[in-house]
């Protein structure tokens, strides 16, 4: 049965993770064995109205589902685990990850139902698991979420080091520094391929330690003992939240946690021992007004300006328990992800209007990145000394900048592979080269529907949004070839009808004339009739208004 081992190739293909909205999914395949590394979701672009989430197309995996030996997760961020609730509907394979990663995942999976219950297997950094022909070692790294790992994947052709998202933090909050030694050992043993995080490849130097944020917070708390302090940050940044809690306790403040995802993740992190909260420090949001403001810290979601997040509700006075006033100091302990700047600014302006003070990352050092900058990226490359290199995680420009770093370190140009979605990179004893292209792409999630929204639906939504809609309805007696009711005109999103009655009357006359001229000429083919009405109306409307609403003629017959 087994093919000759010599003809087998190691294949690496990305089904996600190569655009602005990063949804990571990497497939590693050899013969009859496949492992999946991460399975993330992305958020829709502006040109996808109504779409909730974007997940990778997994057609290729579904076709090869009998080969899949396991799903390996590097850490618990949405863009690495978020697609699992959808992908697990069609793919059954055991899942491996560290305890916090799986804790966050369980929480997420509990909101969905599955025909076959997903199997989650805990591993610890340092562990090696066997998955078919592969063995996968988890290596501790630093990142903006605790319990993150890189992977060393042993294959018959050679070793793959997959960095996951990482940074080098020499003074991490939990004392656990990225395992640089292990990367060095692997480098000495020989690494075939390094796949490494490119997010910050444009940035020179080093990403500061998470501890830096703690020092800034301490300074701010010291100078603002008369203020209520409200801090918005990423809910998954367990160490950030821990630091805020520690500083608050030190300054005798009670801490309120608000926002759904913040409550969820803090719950999981405490339960699993990734966070320790001194007795009596946490209070419920309903108790917030029982203490004077200067004895309160509020940790909240909404650092990206998300509409209806807890901070948004505070800013726009929708929050039930927290009313912003001039005694409040709001700290945005986060950077605005590209595309969110205007939303964030809108919230800041509102908070200022309510008399509060607002500190942003750009003005005080209250945020550090979770991703490696150039010197760190070079360090990982220097330690692992890979034969081949594939920059991953980031926009195309980040991959290119990461490539420039590799060239600078002396890697031959021919050994660097810039990935493309679905494009297989093949390895054998002779070397590496691009291979076949497998199905890949975006699957859109809207409400309960996964993948039922395609380009035509999106195009219609964009058209409707731009200039609105005009519906023309008429009933025709096909025997007598006469118009027996209508045409009636209904418009939405076009003009305010009450103020444009004349225009609507003119449109009705044009539609009627178009219909009658068809009927008089014995044209009763619906397509012709509708096209005539549509053309005449759209010409008239454009001449009058310079707009092109969607025109929907509906002709009924009796």
In the complex with a second copy, which residue's Cβ is closer, 114 or 542?
542
User: Minimum distance from CB of 344 to a second copy (Å)?
Assistant: 9
Kind of pairing between the strands at 68-72 and 95-97: parallel
In the complex with a second copy, which residue's Cβ is closer, 129 or 552?
552
What 3-state class would DSSP assign to 303? coil
Residues 2, 7, 46, 66: which binds a second copy (CB under 8 A)? 46
Kind of pairing between the strands at 328-332 and 254-258: unpaired
CB 67 within 8 A of CB 33: yes
Q: Taking Cα atoms as reference points, which of 156, 160, 154 lies closest to residue 12?
A: 160
Residue 446 binds a second copy (CB under 8 A) = yes
What 3-state class would DSSP assign to 398? helix
Residues 10, 494, 515, 519: which binds a second copy (CB under 8 A)? 494
In the complex with a second copy, which residue's Cβ is closer, 518 or 555?
555
What 3-state class would DSSP assign to 183? helix
In the complex with a second copy, which residue's Cβ is closer, 389 or 494?
494
User: Minimum distance from CB of 281 to a second copy (Å)?
Assistant: 32
Cα gap 292→288, rounded to integer Å: 9
What 3-state class would DSSP assign to 425? strand
Give the phi and the psi of residue 548 in degrees, each rounded to 5: -130, 70
Residues 87, 137, 486, 533: which binds a second copy (CB under 8 A)? 486
Residues 174, 176, 202, 294: which binds a second copy (CB under 8 A)? 202
Cα gap 157→428, rounded to integer Å: 6
In the complex with a second copy, which residue's Cβ is closer, 44 or 293?
44
CB 314 within 8 A of CB 300: yes
Residue 525 binds a second copy (CB under 8 A) = no
Piece of 312-320, 368-376, 452-460, 515-523 that binds a second copy (CB under 8 A): 452-460
Residues 492, 505, 526, 539: which binds a second copy (CB under 8 A)? 492
Piece of 67-75, 159-167, 277-285, 490-498 that binds a second copy (CB under 8 A): 490-498
Residues 488, 505, 520, 535: which binds a second copy (CB under 8 A)? 488
CB 27 within 8 A of CB 12: yes
In the complex with a second copy, which residue's Cβ is closer, 122 or 547?
547
Residues 263, 281, 457, 504: which binds a second copy (CB under 8 A)? 457
CB 164 within 8 A of CB 153: no
Residue 308 binds a second copy (CB under 8 A) = no
Cα gap 25→4, rounded to integer Å: 29
Residue 436 binds a second copy (CB under 8 A) = no
Cα gap 381→375, rounded to integer Å: 10
Q: At which residue do the structure tokens 């087994």 appear?
A: 2
In the complex with a second copy, which residue's Cβ is closer, 271 or 477?
477
Residues 226, 290, 539, 544: which binds a second copy (CB under 8 A)? 544
User: Minimum distance from CB of 400 to a second copy (Å)?
Assistant: 5
**Among residue numbers 212 through 241, which ones bind a second copy (CB under 8 A)?**
none
Cα gap 298→257, rounded to integer Å: 6
* Burial class (CB within 10 angstroms; exposed 0-12, middle 13-18, buried 19+) of 236: buried
CB 389 within 8 A of CB 416: yes
Backbone CA torsion sign across 515, 520, 521, 523: positive
Give the phi and the psi of residue 239 in degrees, each rounded to 5: -70, -35
User: Minimum distance from CB of 70 to a second copy (Å)?
Assistant: 31
Query: Does the annotation count 371 as an active-site position?
Result: yes
Question: In sequence order, which residues have a C-beta less than 8 Å from that of residue 430 and are 6 or more positions away?
Answer: none
Sheet holding 550-557, edge to edge: 482-492, 469-477, 550-557
Residues 185, 284, 341, 525: which binds a second copy (CB under 8 A)? 341
Query: Does the annotation count 402 as an active-site position?
Result: no
Site string for a second copy, 385-424 (x = CB under 8 A): ----------xxx--x------------------------
Residues 185, 271, 452, 520: which binds a second copy (CB under 8 A)? 452
Cα gap 380→183, rounded to integer Å: 7
CA 536 to chain centre: 45
Cα gap 81→389, rounded to integer Å: 24
Token pair, residue 274, equals 């990734």
Cα gap 232→239, rounded to integer Å: 14
User: Minimum distance from CB of 294 to a second copy (Å)?
Assistant: 22
User: Minimum distance from CB of 338 to a second copy (Å)?
Assistant: 4
Residues 252, 276, 345, 517: which binds a second copy (CB under 8 A)? 345
Residue 468 binds a second copy (CB under 8 A) = yes
Question: In sequence order, which residues have a C-beta less than 8 Å from that of residue 422 and are 6 or more positions away?
Answer: 13, 14, 15, 60, 437, 438, 439, 440, 441
Size of residue set near a second copy by CB under 8 A: 70
Residue 516 binds a second copy (CB under 8 A) = no
Residue 448 binds a second copy (CB under 8 A) = yes
- Candidate list 79, 197, 361, 467, residue with the active-site label: 197
**Among residue numbers 84 through 143, which ones bind a second copy (CB under 8 A)?**
none
Q: Taking Cα atoms as reference points, which of 538, 540, 539, 542 lies closest to residue 551?
A: 538
Piece of 66-74, 287-295, 365-373, 471-479 that binds a second copy (CB under 8 A): 471-479
Residues 473, 481, 504, 524: which binds a second copy (CB under 8 A)? 473
- Candidate list 75, 80, 143, 371, residue with the active-site label: 371
Catalytic (active-site) positions: 197, 371
Contacts to a second copy by CB under 8 A: 20, 45-46, 49-50, 202, 338-339, 341-342, 345-346, 348-350, 352-353, 358, 362-363, 395-397, 400, 446-449, 452-454, 456-458, 460-469, 471, 473-475, 484-486, 488, 490, 492-496, 499-500, 544-547, 550, 552, 554, 556-558
């Amino acid at each position: 049965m087994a093919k000759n081992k010599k003809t087998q190739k190691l294949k690496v293909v990305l089904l996600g993770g190569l655009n602005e909205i990063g949804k990571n999914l990497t497939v590693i395949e050899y013969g009859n064995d496949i492992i999946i590394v991460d399975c993330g979701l992305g958020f829709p672009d502006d040109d996808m109205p109504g779409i909730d989430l974007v997940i990778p197309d997994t057609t290729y995996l579904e076709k090869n589902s009998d080969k899949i030996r396991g799903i390996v997760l590097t850490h618990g961020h949405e863009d690495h685990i978020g697609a699992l609730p959808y992908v697990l509907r069609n793919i059954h394979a055991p899942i491996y990850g560290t305890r916090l990663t799986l804790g966050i995942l369980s929480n997420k999976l509990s909101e969905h139902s599955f025909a076959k219950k997903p199997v989650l297997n805990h591993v610890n950094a340092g562990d090696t698991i066997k998955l078919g022909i592969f063995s996968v070692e988890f290596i501790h790294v630093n990142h903006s979420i605790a319990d993150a790992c890189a992977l060393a994947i042993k294959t018959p052709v050679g070793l793959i080091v997959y960095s996951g998202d990482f940074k080098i933090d020499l003074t991490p909050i939990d004392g656990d520094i990225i395992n640089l030694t292990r990367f060095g050992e692997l480098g000495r043993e020989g690494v075939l391929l390094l796949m490494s995080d490119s997010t910050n490849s444009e940035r020179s130097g080093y990403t500061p330690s998470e501890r830096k944020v703690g020092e800034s917070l301490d300074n701010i708390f010291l100078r603002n003992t008369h203020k209520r302090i409200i801090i918005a940050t990423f809910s998954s940044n367990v160490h950030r939240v821990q630091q805020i809690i520690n500083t608050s306790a030190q300054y005798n403040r009670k801490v309120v946690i608000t926002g759904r995802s913040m409550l969820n993740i803090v719950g999981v992190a405490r339960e699993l021992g990734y966070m320790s909260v001194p007795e009596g420090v946490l209070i419920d949001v309903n108790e917030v007004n029982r203490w004077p403001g200067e004895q309160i810290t509020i940790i909240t979601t909404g650092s990206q300006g998300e509409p209806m997040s807890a901070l948004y509700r505070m800013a726009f006075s929708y929050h039930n328990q927290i009313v912003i006033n001039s005694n409040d100091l709001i700290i945005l302990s986060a950077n605005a992800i590209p595309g969110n700047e205007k939303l964030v600014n809108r919230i800041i302006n509102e908070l200022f209007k309510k008399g509060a003070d607002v500190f942003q990352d750009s003005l005080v050092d209250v945020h550090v990145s979770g991703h490696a900058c150039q010197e760190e990226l070079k360090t990982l490359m220097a330690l692992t000394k890979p034969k081949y290199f594939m920059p991953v995680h980031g926009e195309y420009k980040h991959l290119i900048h990461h490539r420039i770093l590799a060239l600078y370190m002396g890697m031959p140009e021919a050994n660097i592979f810039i990935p493309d979605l679905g494009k297989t990179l093949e390895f054998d004893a002779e070397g590496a080269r691009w291979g076949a292209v497998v199905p890949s792409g975006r699957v859109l999630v809207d409400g309960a529907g996964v993948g039922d929204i395609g380009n035509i639906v999106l195009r219609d939504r964009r058209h409707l949004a731009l200039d609105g809609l005009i519906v023309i309805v008429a009933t025709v007696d096909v025997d007598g070839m006469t118009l027996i009711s209508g045409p009636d005109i209904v418009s939405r999103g076009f003009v305010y009808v009450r103020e444009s009655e004349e225009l609507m009357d003119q449109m009705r006359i044009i539609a009627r004339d178009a219909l009658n001229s068809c009927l008089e000429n014995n044209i009763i083919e619906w397509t012709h009739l509708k096209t005539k009405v549509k053309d005449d109306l759209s010409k008239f409307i454009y001449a009058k208004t310079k707009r092109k609403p969607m025109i929907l003629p509906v002709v009924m017959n009796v």
